[in-house]
Amino acid sequence: MNFTPQQAILELGDAFYDPVPAARFPQAILRFRNDRAAAQIGLDQLSDAQWIAHFGRFEPLPGALERPLALRYHGHQFRVYNPEIGDGRGFLFAQMTDERGRLMDLGTKGSGQTPYSRFGDGRLTLKGGVREILATEMLEGLGVETSRTFSLIETGEELHRGDEPSPTRSAVLVRLNHGHIRIGTFQRLAYFQDLENIERLTGYVLRHYFGEEPGDDAPQRLLAYVARRTARMAGRFMAAGFVHGVLNSDNINVTGESFDYGPWRFAPTWDPGFIAAYFDQAGLYSFGRQPEAIYWDVMQLASSLRLIAEEEPLVEAMDVFPEAFQREVAEAMLWRLGLVPRGVEHDRPLVGAIERALVETGTPIDRFFFHGFGGKLPPSYGEPFADLRAQLAHYAPRKGRDHAYWSGDAPCAMLIDEVEDIWAAIARDDDWSRLNAKVAAIRRMGEALR
């Protein structure tokens, strides 16, 4: 398709963002370009030199935004409200429509300081960029709606970080998102009692992301959309065995698209208490508490919209989340098993049986879904799986195991030891072959699942 630039964000006005310059980097070494994603927005024909010019030096794309914009937002961070945040090491670089006609954003991570950097240097470590590639590729392969890592360029600076051996290498990352409007964007306006701009933002989101015009019931319609979309994200996190790690309200996109990956992990087994962030000592964002955490964030959106709407319709809109989550987690698990859903009354007991068997046996999550794809468990899955085996017999496959992926000995997984090994090869030997091979393997898995 042809590149179709947009400037929709400018409709909101300068109360929502600050124009900022991009940092100047001593080097620009292209390490990753996502031509699969680029083809969906008409940018796959760029030469490497053009790619670096746009996504390493941030020369404007023709017809897109003339200047990068650091977006303004607040948010609850581990349930503590913080009015001092915003785009501190990133900005919105460009908008365009994709092949489906959706409004898309190209945003950055590690592109320099902004008015919201506080004491930070506005940079990203190369390891952080590599980890984001692995997270987004794996989640996309597992059917989670996620931002996609569009570009990673090494920038030639030495960075010092408390959680990495330092000095460490630097990079700038570009992600492709279905919007960067967060729950925290609404919270900031509510903090300032800015009713006019809450209404303006509500209309913007409804028009550009949900294809509807605002009206008297716009706040509750918006909230219901966000509740359903984020319930879907929560359900797919669980089926993927994924732990985001930092589900603060400024990290929740109103389109329900997962993004912004820091201390993420994939859980080896079905352990509800498994955490991704060493600093999450209370387990607030542990594997099993993620649906609760995301629902709590949706409640903060409802609280912000309360300034322009009555309470009762907002409560009704928000309350679609629990039922939607139950449906979505079942559908996501059945999708990963290659089976056709039968309806909530049948699928919910199946989910319970899966969880009980995995907890009782400690069976690795990825191995279970790999062996169970198509609905038939191997004989080695013994007595703890008897109830589940009986339930699976009532489900029809949506596709078979004819893809070459299913003939392998083991599933494609993304556990922390492999992530560290991939990074160690880059850090020690500048060997990118393991990363490239892993991305290829993940995409092969994704083809088999789709």
> What residues act catalytically?
250
* Distances in whole angstroms, Cα of residue 360 to Cα of each of 146, 241, 256, 363: 31, 16, 32, 8
Q: Say how many C-beta atoms besides its own lie within 10 A of residue 310's C-beta.
A: 10
Alpha-carbon gap, residue 438 to 442, rounded angstroms: 6
Q: Tell me, what amino acid is at 401?
A: R
> What is the Cα–Cα distance from 23 to 438, expressed in whole angstroms?
31
Spatial contact of 186 and 301, defined as CB atoms under 8 Å apart: yes
- Answer whether 9's CB lies under 8 Å from 17's CB: yes
CA distance 192 to 200: 15
Q: 295, 202 in Cβ contact below 8 A?
A: no
**Could you give the 3-state DSSP secondary structure of residue 268?**
coil
Q: Contact 236/327 with Cβ under 8 angstroms?
A: no
Structure tokens that stand for 233 in this block:
């994200």
Query: In this structure, what token pair is assigned to residue 405?
Result: 């992926």
CB 347 within 8 A of CB 253: no
Fill in the DSSP letter of residue 67: S
Quote the CA–CA distance of 104 and 284 in Å, as a whole number. 31
Identify the sign of the CA torsion 46, 48, 51, 53.
negative
Q: Could you tell me which of 291, 340, 302, 23 has the C-alpha nearest to residue 183?
A: 302
SS (H, E, C) 165-182: CCCEEEEEEEEEECCCCE
> Measured between alpha carbons, how far is 182 from 71 in angstroms, rounded to an integer?
10
Of 318, 313, 341, 317, the C-alpha closest to 329 is 341
User: Which one, of 152, 140, 176, 332, lies nearest residue 253 by Cα?
Assistant: 176
Sign of the torsion formed by the C-alpha atoms of 330, 332, 336 and 339: positive
